[in-house]
Chains A and B, each alone.
Chain A
Amino acid sequence: MLVPINWLKEYTKIDVSVDEFCDKMIMSGSNIETAQYFGDGIEKVVVGKVLSIEKHPDADKLVITKIQISNKEEESIQIVTGAKNLFVGAYVPVALHGSKLPGGKSIKKGKLRGIESNGMLCSAGELGFDDKVIPVAHKDGIWILDKEYKLGQDIVDALELKNAVVDFEITPNRPDCLSMIGMARETAATLNGELKYPDTKCEKEEGSAEDYISVEIKNSELCRRYVARVVTDVKIEQSPWWLQKRLIYAGMRPINNIVDITNYVMLEYGQPIHAFDIRNVEDNKIIVDTAEEGEIFTTLDGSERKLTKDMLLIKDGKKGVALAGVMGGLNSEIQEDTGSILIEAANFNGDSIRATSKKLALRTEASSRYEKGIDPNLCETAADRVCKLIEILGAGKAAKGKVDVYPNKIDKHTVSVRVNRVNSVLGINLNVKQMEEIFKSLEMEVLQDGDILKVTPPTIRQDLEEEIDFIEEIARIYGYDKMPVTIPRGNAEAAKSKERSLKDLARDSMVAMGANEVQTYSFVSPKGVDNVRIDEDSWERNFVKLINPLGEENSVMRTILTPNMMEVLGRNYSRNIPSVRAFEIGNTFFKSLDEQQPLPEEYDSMVIAAYGESESFYTLKGMVEELLEKLGIHGATYESESEYGVYHPGRCARIIYKDYELGIMGEIHPDVTEKYGIGVRAYCCELAFDNVMKNSNTERFYSPLPKYPSMTRDIALIVEEEITVAQIENIIKEEGKKLLESVALFDVYRGKPINEGMKSVAFTLVYRSPDKTLTEEEVTKVHNNVLAALKDKINAVLRDM
């Protein structure tokens, strides 16, 4: 909320610099977005008076003016301008030769279409005001000053333009701070000052409000109070500059005196005010009721709006006249010739106003204040203040009294606050008196009852309900910075959970193998599974869908990580990155099969992928094997898979361990790489990381180093192409029995002199006994059995080495 410091000073003393004021307000709980300074950067701009206006001989859109800029008429200067709202006698800001305007612009004399011009007449915009706050009266032209000022006087001094405006960030719990008086209350408490309320009592009142109007509330839940006052003999004109200026600095555009006053009081107290032209209030009646379903009502912005039956509508005897708390009706708008007006200060239910304003997509200053909650006890004072300002401005005569319908008065309430509790929550040690002072500085009444303070806040503080709310008040006014700094008891170091440790271990292992970790969105496009060729009715399509996604590309929760990873590979490939090794560990989501369970199932998944010159199925498999080893999963098997759409049908394996499928890996199907713009072969593995964690065992036991020497035999076998390495290894292990320590593949060869359809596979077999040194005969015996079995079972022929 924009708060001009000079306006604030009307209610309380501010005897510190703006910087210090801001710092102190921040520390007592009024956070500040910005502090802006107006009137800076203006030099040699003075008050001038238009003496004459003549047509420019060579330009239709320009005029030549004589402007008096001192008390001597003969010292006037000639200025050429394109403005249309000038008239002889008007007082205007004149930027002289060599003057400076905000934003660093400087004005020099020159010729416009051949005619000498010795400066510039300024609009409010040129003097640094935002377009949206420039008074209606001169919003498209030169600034016509509101009255006569001393000619030649510096405009900054004449209009008192120098002002600091602080933009407070008001949190939703403090709607009372959405007003100058609310901020003055905070200021007074912060700076130890007094709060002075504005004058609300008119000197003279004529007639009686009740003679003009009656008020009926049909729904007292939605309208807690309605105060009406009446003003007669209204003269609509521009507001004086002092009032305009306050509105402008607070971010509102001056319109005319009556509208400006209603806005002024709204800003001052936080109470929205509406003024009706009483001519258009039929039957002298105001009825607060709900609208008819489908009723059409034209608001004063000229829009026709279709209402629903839960919307509050202010009606007269015959028709709707205002959309309560949101916007007035066009039919009762204040006009140039308005004579008498009705001033409404009412309290409408915030939820109802919010719903109405949301349904109609119409949010106004008034509606947003009602939404946040307003104290109904403000209505009367605010209505009185409007009348007082009308009197001060001479804009009309207030009628005596008011019509005030207030079915259920809101009274102050008292809350017990325990002194010990305050101290024990905050870790401080204030005494009763100090606490009392703080509460009183915020206009609360305090009664002491032993160790208990009975605190009664003003009704404007709707946020103060329980003891903890009062503890917060003590904390912020005492000062967070004055509280001590202590460390809570018991600071033994905590251990990581098993799952977290395993994820960390997996990340560390992948990083050590040269892979970079990526993080991708949990919500994805449902097309991702199409792009990676997942079957039509498979589980990967059991999506959890968002009701309100940002777009289709983020509309479902991911069921697998592979499509996101393909995007990452594609993006990197398109950026000419020659090789990538990457991984991600993240959640996947599935609709729960149990209908009682509102939340989806979430699983941990892990994806590893790579492309680049030195990458192959086997480099990826090497990484997967090493990762599983590190996680304590020994002996996972890889079973050929040719049906899973993501992968090359001849280069894909399911990873099996005990009864679990740990994942699937392979070379990405060429249609998939093409879809993602990956111009080379790519490899990917997605692990069901939950299953990996379930089977992980990171405990380590030492096995003794061998005491006796080993004997090594290398063999090369010629086998049919279809025979897998795993098959051969299994036979070797089975026959090698206890003496075989290890078997390892070291070469696969195809081509001459090996026949077509056959391949040569070479293994190193290591034999060793834990108990003795093996003899040549012992090893040969076993080794021959191995070779015989290979021959017998898969027709493997030993090749000469």
Chain B
Amino acid sequence: MQNNQLMTILQEAKEQLNKASSVGETEELRVKILGKKGKLTEILRSMGSMSPEERKEFGKMANSVRSEIESLLDEKFTEMKERQKAAKFKEERIDVTEPGIKISLGSKHPITITIDEISKVFMSMGYSIAEGPEVETVFNNFDALNAGKNHPSRDLSDTFYITDDTLLRTQTSPVQVRTLMKQKPPIKVISPGRCFRCDTPDATHSPMFHQVEGLLVDEGVTMADLKGTLDSFAKKMFGSKTKTKFRPHHFPFTEPSAEMDVSCFKCGGAGCRVCKGSGWIEILGCGMVHPNVLKVGNVDTEKYTGFAFGMGVERIAMLKYEVDDIRLFYENDMRFIKQFK
């Protein structure tokens, strides 16, 4: 009879589990059947009054029913939990097209970015960075750089003076003079920094601007080395397909002197707005260091030769980023600076 009761319990459990529709209901069922006062537990209590043989058989059957109910309960629990999760996911669904919560990085100034890029290329070629003061001596800025006493750049209309002997440097080349006076060859430096000239600000002029100049002095340095170095710089800076062209020019502190053009990095040389249709863009001035300049640092000009180069950072930044007004660099409108993030 008890056996029948066991089968009934199993049968009922199956039916009720089928009806259960949540984790809670399933748990209630578990307590009702398997709990301390559960039906199955109660029946098992009656085992004491059975003969040993009966008990053995009944026990066997009861265990089998119990384990079947347990596995049914497990199944039901798993099913119910999955259903619960699915409901939760459905409820928590979001609109992934809404914008992200803003975390803003700032941006370095485009001039800094350009100087960093130029510096990185030259550092990879072994140039260390030398810096010098913005207020310089007339000697370091002009005399030592072989600029004639009457050179027009010395005029009050071109150069800002502090006293008769001191001025705001018009180029970063005085840093090269300082280096030559301080250090024995081999010398390999670049000097980025601010420069000043008496230009009233307009779209293409700024009384303050930045330059990066470079100097290499060593035994056996040739003009071919100058070409190779700057050609390699141009390829690293403006892309590996960049071509370079060296045109003769004149600077007091180098001889022979040259200007370097690069093939337009916007159109590749076909001619466009940036290169004004010529396919070439003038990027820098350079040349072999004039012996008079080397002598300032007591360099043996028979043993050592060298080259120097200099470029305007604003110009390169304007060309690269297609900025059409130099004044934008110094207005510091956040909407401008953020674009270089």
Which residues of A does B touch, CB under 8 Å? 26-29, 31, 171-174, 350-351, 354, 371, 424-428, 466, 468-469, 471-472, 475-476, 480-481, 483-497, 499-500, 504, 507, 510-523, 544-550, 554, 557, 568, 571-572, 575, 577, 580-583, 587, 589, 598-600, 602
Do B161 and A548 touch (CB < 8 A)?
A: yes
Do B224 and A485 touch (CB < 8 A)?
A: yes
Do B129 and A497 touch (CB < 8 A)?
A: yes
- Nearest residue, chain A, Cβ from B128: A494
Given contacts A468-B255, A523-B196, contact A483 B135 (CB under 8 A): no
User: Beyond the given A350-B150, A427-B224, A521-B330, could you list 11 further A-B residue pairs with CB under 8 A, ordered by the A residue number?
Assistant: A426-B224, A496-B123, A504-B116, A514-B106, A516-B338, A520-B330, A521-B208, A523-B207, A544-B162, A580-B334, A600-B162
| Closest chain A CB from B4 CB (angstroms) | 59
Interface check B40, CB cutoff 8 A: no
Do B156 and A548 touch (CB < 8 A)?
A: yes
Do A511 and B105 touch (CB < 8 A)?
A: yes
| Closest chain A CB from B297 CB (angstroms) | 17
Could you show 23 A-B contacts with beta carbons less than 8 Å apart? A29-B247, A29-B248, A174-B250, A425-B288, A426-B224, A427-B223, A427-B225, A475-B223, A475-B248, A475-B256, A480-B223, A485-B227, A486-B224, A495-B128, A510-B106, A521-B208, A523-B207, A547-B160, A547-B162, A577-B335, A587-B133, A598-B166, A599-B166
Complex Cα distance A470/B162, Å? Answer: 38
* Dominant SS among interface residues on chain B: mixed
Do A557 and B135 touch (CB < 8 A)?
A: yes
- Nearest residue, chain A, Cβ from B124: A493
Complex Cα distance A481/B280, Å? Answer: 15
Interface check B331, CB cutoff 8 A: yes
Interface set, chain B 139-155, CB cutoff 8 A to A? 148, 150-152
Do A173 and B104 touch (CB < 8 A)?
A: no
Given contacts A494-B188, A516-B334, A548-B161, contact A523 B135 (CB under 8 A): no
- Nearest residue, chain A, Cβ from B302: A421
| Closest chain A CB from B279 CB (angstroms) | 12
Q: Which of B45-53, B73-81, B92-100, B214-222 has 4 or more CB atoms under 8 Å from chain A?
A: B214-222
Cβ–Cβ < 8 Å partners of B123 in chain A = 493-496
Cβ–Cβ < 8 Å partners of B109 in chain A = 516-519
Do B133 and A546 touch (CB < 8 A)?
A: no
Do A512 and B225 touch (CB < 8 A)?
A: no
Do A494 and B150 touch (CB < 8 A)?
A: no
9 A-B pairs with the lowest CB-CB distances in the bound complex, closest first: A427-B224, A427-B222, A29-B248, A171-B250, A472-B256, A518-B332, A494-B128, A517-B109, A480-B246
- Nearest residue, chain A, Cβ from B159: A548
Do B256 and A512 touch (CB < 8 A)?
A: no
Most B CB atoms within 10 A — which of A507, A516, A522, A581? A516
Cβ–Cβ < 8 Å partners of B228 in chain A = 484-488
Which residues of B does A touch, CB under 8 Å? 103-109, 111-112, 116, 123-129, 131, 133-137, 148, 150-152, 156-157, 160-163, 165-166, 168, 186, 188, 194, 196, 198, 200, 207-208, 216, 218, 220-225, 227-229, 231-232, 245-250, 255-259, 288, 290-291, 305, 329-335, 337-338
| Closest chain B CB from A755 CB (angstroms) | 40
Complex Cα distance A534/B93, Å? Answer: 58
Cβ–Cβ < 8 Å partners of A426 in chain B = 222-224, 256
Do B250 and A550 touch (CB < 8 A)?
A: no
Do A480 and B225 touch (CB < 8 A)?
A: no
Do B291 and A517 touch (CB < 8 A)?
A: no
Do A516 and B247 touch (CB < 8 A)?
A: no
- Which residue of B104, B160, B248, B257 is within 8 Å of A27 (Cβ)? B248
Do A571 and B250 touch (CB < 8 A)?
A: no
- Which residue of A493, A515, A554 is within 8 Å of B106 (Cβ)? A515
- Nearest residue, chain B, Cβ from A568: B332
Most A CB atoms within 10 A — which of B160, B331, B334? B334
- Which residue of B133, B198, B229, B259 is within 8 Å of A550 (Cβ)? B198
Cβ–Cβ < 8 Å partners of B229 in chain A = 487-488
Do A512 and B220 touch (CB < 8 A)?
A: no
Cβ–Cβ < 8 Å partners of B107 in chain A = 511, 516-517
- Which residue of B124, B129, B151, B256 is within 8 Å of A496 (Cβ)? B129
Given contacts A510-B106, A518-B109, contact A425 B249 (CB under 8 A): no
- Nearest residue, chain A, Cβ from B149: A351
Complex Cα distance A580/B334, Å? Answer: 7
Cβ–Cβ < 8 Å partners of A602 in chain B = 133-135
Most B CB atoms within 10 A — which of A466, A504, A575, A598? A598
Do B305 and A425 touch (CB < 8 A)?
A: yes
- Nearest residue, chain B, Cβ from A26: B247
Given contacts A31-B249, A493-B124, A521-B208, contact A488 B218 (CB under 8 A): yes
| Closest chain A CB from B197 CB (angstroms) | 10
Do B105 and A512 touch (CB < 8 A)?
A: yes
Complex Cα distance A570/B163, Å? Answer: 33
| Closest chain B CB from A75 CB (angstroms) | 46
Complex Cα distance A582/B337, Å? Answer: 10
Given contacts A487-B232, A514-B104, A547-B163, contact A476 B256 (CB under 8 A): yes
Complex Cα distance A560/B212, Å? Answer: 25
Given contacts A427-B224, A518-B337, contact A468 B168 (CB under 8 A): no
- Which residue of A28, A475, A497 is within 8 Å of B128 (Cβ)? A497
Cβ–Cβ < 8 Å partners of A545 in chain B = 162
Given contacts A171-B250, A485-B224, A491-B125, contact A519 B256 (CB under 8 A): no
Do A172 and B225 touch (CB < 8 A)?
A: no
| Closest chain B CB from A174 CB (angstroms) | 7
Cβ–Cβ < 8 Å partners of B196 in chain A = 522-523
Given contacts A351-B150, A476-B248, A515-B106, contact A493 B134 (CB under 8 A): no
Complex Cα distance A28/B246, Å? Answer: 11
Most A CB atoms within 10 A — which of B116, B186, B249? B249
Do B160 and A523 touch (CB < 8 A)?
A: yes
Complex Cα distance A599/B249, Å? Answer: 33
Complex Cα distance A582/B249, Å? Answer: 41
- Nearest residue, chain B, Cβ from A466: B291
Complex Cα distance A518/B107, Å? Answer: 9
- Which residue of B200, B291, B331 is within 8 Å of A468 (Cβ)? B291
| Closest chain A CB from B42 CB (angstroms) | 47
| Closest chain B CB from A455 CB (angstroms) | 16
Do B168 and A571 touch (CB < 8 A)?
A: no
Cβ–Cβ < 8 Å partners of B125 in chain A = 491, 493
Complex Cα distance A351/B165, Å? Answer: 21
- Nearest residue, chain B, Cβ from A586: B194
Complex Cα distance A507/B110, Å? Answer: 13
Cβ–Cβ < 8 Å partners of B198 in chain A = 548, 550
- Nearest residue, chain B, Cβ from A170: B250
| Closest chain A CB from B208 CB (angstroms) | 5
| Closest chain A CB from B119 CB (angstroms) | 9
Complex Cα distance A425/B290, Å? Answer: 11
Do A575 and B223 touch (CB < 8 A)?
A: no
Given contacts A31-B247, A468-B255, A514-B106, contact A488 B221 (CB under 8 A): yes
Do B250 and A507 touch (CB < 8 A)?
A: no
Cβ–Cβ < 8 Å partners of B166 in chain A = 598-600
- Which residue of B134, B163, B220, B250 is within 8 Å of A522 (Cβ)? B134
Complex Cα distance A582/B109, Å? Answer: 10
